[in-house]
Amino acid sequence: MTPRFRSTSAMPIDEWAERPKRGASIRQPAIVPRPSNRGCGFKTSFAPMRVPIDPKIKTSEWPTVRRLALIFPLICALGCSAASIRPTTDSGVAGSFSGIATSDLIEALRVAEKDLRSIDALGKVRIATPENRLRASQVVMARAPDAFRIEVLAPFGISYAVATDGETLAALSTQENILFRGPPDEQTIAEVIGIALSPRDMTSLLLGRPPVRAETLASSWTSNRPLGDAPPGADSPLVFLHAADGANTSIVIGFTRMSLRREPKIVPVSFQRIARNGQQLLRATFEDFTEVDKALIPQRIRIHAAATDAVIEYSEVQANKLLPRATFLIPTPPGATEESLRPSPR
């Protein structure tokens, strides 16, 4: 038995679930936010608190492991209550920015990787598929390069959780009381999340940056136009970095220049992965940036993959928090059935 997607009744699009207190009992210990006297409004200090998993959640009311998997390819934007940083709008910027060196764009990606190594965030996600339109609250924890944990929240606990430490993937359906385990690869992640991404790619998106490593972009070039139409919703890309991504796909990363307190900063604001035949395999846009602990973080991320669209917005986030390996492990709950996670037969 493996988790599969099925079309079942969904929560109305105009209804948000009542948000429970942050955390859950399967994360040891669970945590809830307390207001901090320092920094931006969503920075929090944390106190241990156990929040029970709700055993009364009905399948008809909350997505199951098969349906909830549609939520997760769709990645986080990370937020702060401080004012967003907007792209530079000076009329002379576009002309000067168009001649920027490829090495400067690659360096901007390196800086993004260095400045943000982990997040612990709370937010809401809107999902649209051909079968369903869903909304949910969720907790997202991610640590570079390849560890993440996502918990979907119900009124009194967690309805679904998926986590990997880069070595093992686990998905827990609290409604069915089943824990699935398997190796973390594109096929198994597609089974529990709904999109075929490697652990590294998923983690990068959860951290709010393009799913590509700067050191792999030595053979790349720039242009003033994207391949095809510019991704909608992006913060006015001014220059595009093109690169091969294996033998059969290519990537296009859009950059703009953000106005900071001291000096402008080059920031990636869009990502496309395109097949050789021109098919767009993955699109992500990063919007409404804010600065948290020296890292520029998008407060909203839009994702399009296959027939799924999503917008994720976060109201609370901690940047560069120490997240131990145990954060990304899910032990088998008492009485739960454990099954092997394998990709569906072709």
CA–CA separation, 58 and 272 (whole Å): 38
Q: Residue 118 pLDDT > 90, yes or no? A: yes
CB 150 within 8 A of CB 136: no
- Flag whether 227 is in a domain: yes
- Flag whether 319 is in a domain: yes
CA–CA separation, 298 and 210 (whole Å): 12
Q: Residue 243: which CATH number?
A: 2.50.20.10
Query: What pLDDT shows up at residue 196?
Result: 74
DSSP secondary structure letter of residue 248: S
- Flag whether 341 is in a domain: no
Q: Which residue has the tokens 């804010």?
A: 290
Task: Band the pLDDT of 203: cuts 50, 70, 90.
Answer: very high
Query: What pLDDT shows up at residue 319?
Result: 93
Query: What pLDDT shows up at residue 110?
Result: 94
- Flag whether 2 is in a domain: no
- Flag whether 42 is in a domain: yes
- Flag whether 13 is in a domain: no
Q: Residue 181 pLDDT > 50, yes or no? A: yes
% of the chain residues with pLDDT over 70: 66
Task: Band the pLDDT of 333: cuts 50, 70, 90.
Answer: very high
| Chain centroid to CA 107 | 22
Query: What pLDDT shows up at residue 61?
Result: 37
Lowest mean pLDDT among 3-12, 83-92, 145-154, 304-313: 3-12
pLDDT tens for each residue of 264-313:
788 899 999 999 898 999 999 888 888 888 888 888 888 888 777 878 78
Domain count, the chain: 1
- Flag whether 16 is in a domain: no
- Flag whether 1 is in a domain: no
User: pTM for the full model?
Assistant: 0.71
Domain that holds residue 156: 31-333
